[in-house]
Chain A
Amino acid sequence: MEKRKVQWRFLAVPLIFYTIWVIGPTIYTFYLSLTEWDGLTDPNFIGIQNYLDLFNDSIFYTSLVNNFIWLLIFLLVPVVLGLFLAILLSKKIRWAKGFKAAIYSPMILAPVVIGLIWSWIYHPKAGLLNNTLTYVGLNFLTRGWLSNPETALYAVIGAAVWRHTGYVMLLFLAGLTSIPPTLIEAARIDGATAWQRFRYIILPLLKPATVIVLVITMIQSLRAFDFVNIMTRGGPFNSTNVLANYMYTEAFRNYEMGYGAAVAVILFIIMFIFIFFYLRRIREEELSV
């Protein structure tokens, strides 16, 4: 009746803007992926040639693999560390607020500064890492972290993990505040060990926060761009290249906008698949409540 139409009055303005500024350009990008375009003259329609080229492109596969390595590390390290820190800091510890702010502070620094400082941490001669290793006698471990293709990716991810952990910790902290402490006290009095309390009470009740953390972590790792661009530009010879950076290089350095658009479309599809499954899950939960 009346109700059926009223939602459009709310949706009209946001939808119109969204369609013009986001949906439209996105569709245009899909179209661009079927062309060859230098960004200046007119696009030249070439069908699925870009995708065929991508199929044979070793750099594309390297970037893809790197993204998945990034995803794996991100799902393990910052998530576990963030959770651990959140649990520690949710207790009554002195200076908890200060510690929380300190661990979150990397999120506030500009990526260009983070990239610069971490390059100096990894500096083979004057860097903090190598000098510390030498100081504690682990001299043999020193190397050119960013210049060696075998370690470069992990070095860059290291800086990204440093930044992401604070964000994860904050999300888990929020989730933990919704767990009544009396529940945990009761379990402790009943003789449950710390591990049991964690596994059977905290973890299940943290589910909503965990799901958000996992989704955001997935998106951040698949979308990774800033640190690669700033610290290595994808080098040494593509060992740190990731899809978002590859797309950027193709589009804005090589002026192969069509090819870059194709990479972007693939990236979009991958992320969409991940998120679609998440959303389906959330929908199931919503319906079951």
Chain B
Amino acid sequence: MKIKKLLPILLVFSLLLVFSSVTMAETLTVNTYTSDPAPRKAMKKLVDIYEENNPDVDVQLNITAHEDFKKAIRVWLSSDDPPDVFSWFAGNRAKYFVDKGLVMPFTDVWNEENLDQKIPRAFKSISFFEDEAYFLPHSYYWWAVYYRESIFAEYGLEEPQTWEELLEVGETLKDNGITPFAIGTKFKWTAAGWFDYLNMRINGPKFHTDLMHGEVPFTDDRVAEVFKKWKYLIENDFFVENAAAYSWQEGLQFMTQGDAAMYLMGQFINDAVSEDVQKDMNFFRFPIIDKDVPVGEDLPTDGFMIPAKAPNPELAKDFIAFLASVEGQRVFAEDMGRMVPNKDVPDEVYDKPALKGKKMIENTDALAQFYDRDMDPEMAGDTMDLLMKFWQYPDQYQSIMEEMEQVRQKVME
């Protein structure tokens, strides 16, 4: 009898022993917007690698659709329970959170990992705010004019380097019933891309950056030059008709079906086409309009930040260190054809197009992030609406410039 009474006590006691020797795993919460198929896979792979290297850590990866993420992040950052690490874009958007005190600096990690040596100098300006590191650049992609090699070959066309050459290519294509440029402007940013490039080529990247930051009025004559060139293209059927009816992907169909030859777009265009079409795609730098103007490129950069109220700051910083390392960046380069800032990642992991892109960037004088990443969100949204109006009514460009200026006045006041 005595033994019988003892047994349950022994059982409980031994269970307690067992449990007390099991160490509780730490949890790291990472929220990203990498919802596209390729980045999603790559991000998951990254997390797996980190968990392998750190068996005590359990990483909770939460992937949210891009548009939704932009709204949800504001909610997360102001809650008492934000994630430990979140993905975000460089530029004005990152600065916004820094200014509001919602993110934590990790300058200690930057120095420990010697990132000054490993990451090109150009990236420091988007990572540091008031001498503290807040943003870790992780991957970036370039924009260029993508084209169907087979169509170009059929009509004996070469990659145009200057504006005049581009117009010639366009005319030849039109003569043969092919629309020069595919585009879908329903969600406006594709039109903003055209504005960026025309502005950078005509007026230079410094003017472009100042305009993006709201320091130059939209009624400036130099802006008028951009619209005039653009107007020429629109009025001379260089773009598909009814562009505003299509999302960028729907616009891409014209290219995949062979009805259009070119598309000014980011590198991810490759992920949206079939393998056959991918093999037929190539790209060239947006043609030079003015030889004397420095060359700028849009180089949207994605990266990571740590919320100020992160529950596990030490763990978060460790993850940031991992993301800055070769191991943490290699997957994105290898599997996605994206570019990564860490110079130590060997060239071999890049595929041919990526190497071409890399070379293009090395020969660039200045970098911008992209219209809606460089500009204040309200100003960006309202002026992009006006860009759409311009597309519909190109000859009204002067009154549209004035309306854009009104937006700038309202937002910058």
Contact = CB atoms under 8 A, between A and B. Distances in A.
A255 B378 contact: yes
Contacts, number: 69
A253 interface: yes
A64 B48 CA distance: 51
B388 A236 contact: yes
Contacts of A144: 241-242, 244-245
B386 interface: yes
B386 to A, nearest CB: 7
A256 B74 CA distance: 13
B378 A256 contact: yes
B243 A147 contact: yes
A254 B78 contact: no
Contacts of B186: 146-147, 232-233, 235
B381 interface: yes
B392 A237 contact: yes
Q: Is the interface of B mostly helix, strand, loop or mixed?
A: helix
Interface string B55-98: 00000000000000001001001100000000000000000000
Contacts of B241: 124, 144
A84 interface: no
B245 A145 contact: yes
Interface in B205-226: none
A275 B378 CA distance: 34
B187 interface: yes
Interface string A145-166: 1111100000000000000000
B389 interface: yes
Interface string B235-264: 000000111111100100110000000000
A249 interface: yes
A36 B166 CA distance: 48
Contacts of A256: 378
B100 A41 contact: yes
Nearest to B247: A119
A115 B67 CA distance: 17
Interface string A249-276: 1001111100000000000000000000
Interface string B247-286: 1001001100000000000000000000000000000000
A256 to B, nearest CB: 7
Contacts of A60: none
Interface in B142-193: 186-188
Nearest to B78: A40
B413 to A, nearest CB: 12
Contacts of B382: 254
A123 interface: yes
Interface size class for chain A? Answer: 20 to 34
B334 interface: no
A217 interface: no
Interface in A113-143: 119, 122-126, 143
A238 interface: yes
B74 A238 contact: no
B102 interface: yes
Contacts of B247: 119
B70 to A, nearest CB: 9
A261 B317 CA distance: 38
B385 interface: yes
Contacts of B187: 233
A124 B186 CA distance: 13
A24 interface: no
A208 interface: no
Nearest to A126: B253
A59 B144 CA distance: 35
Interface size class for chain B? Answer: 20 to 34
B287 interface: no
A236 B244 contact: yes
Nearest to B102: A40
A237 B388 contact: yes
Contact of A254 (B253, B378, B389): B378
Nearest to B386: A237
A233 B186 CA distance: 9
A47 interface: no
B311 interface: no
Contacts of A123: 245-246, 250
Contact of B385 (A143, A148, A237): A237
A123 B78 CA distance: 41
A39 B241 CA distance: 40
Contact of A39 (B78, B254, B386, B389): B78
Given A147-B242, A147-B243, A236-B244, A252 B71 contact: yes
B19 to A, nearest CB: 39
B242 A235 contact: no
Contacts of B388: 235-237
A257 B388 CA distance: 25
Given A39-B78, A124-B245, A147-B245, A235 B377 contact: no
Contact of A149 (B71, B74, B243, B392): B392
Question: Which of B242, B377, B381 has the most chain A CB atoms inside 10 A of its CB?
Answer: B242
B74 A39 contact: yes
Nearest to A53: B410
Contacts of A253: 377-378, 381
Interface string A239-254: 0000000000100111
18 contacts: A119-B247, A124-B242, A124-B245, A143-B242, A144-B242, A144-B244, A145-B245, A147-B242, A147-B243, A233-B186, A235-B244, A236-B244, A236-B388, A236-B392, A253-B378, A255-B74, A255-B378, A256-B378
Given A122-B245, A236-B244, A237-B392, 15 more contacts: A39-B78, A40-B77, A40-B100, A119-B245, A123-B245, A144-B245, A145-B245, A147-B186, A147-B242, A147-B243, A149-B392, A235-B188, A237-B388, A237-B389, A253-B377
Closest CB pairs A-B (n = 9): A144-B242, A147-B244, A147-B245, A254-B378, A124-B242, A237-B389, A144-B245, A147-B242, A146-B245
Interface of B: 71, 74, 77-78, 100, 102, 186-188, 241-247, 250, 253-254, 377-378, 381-382, 385-386, 388-389, 392
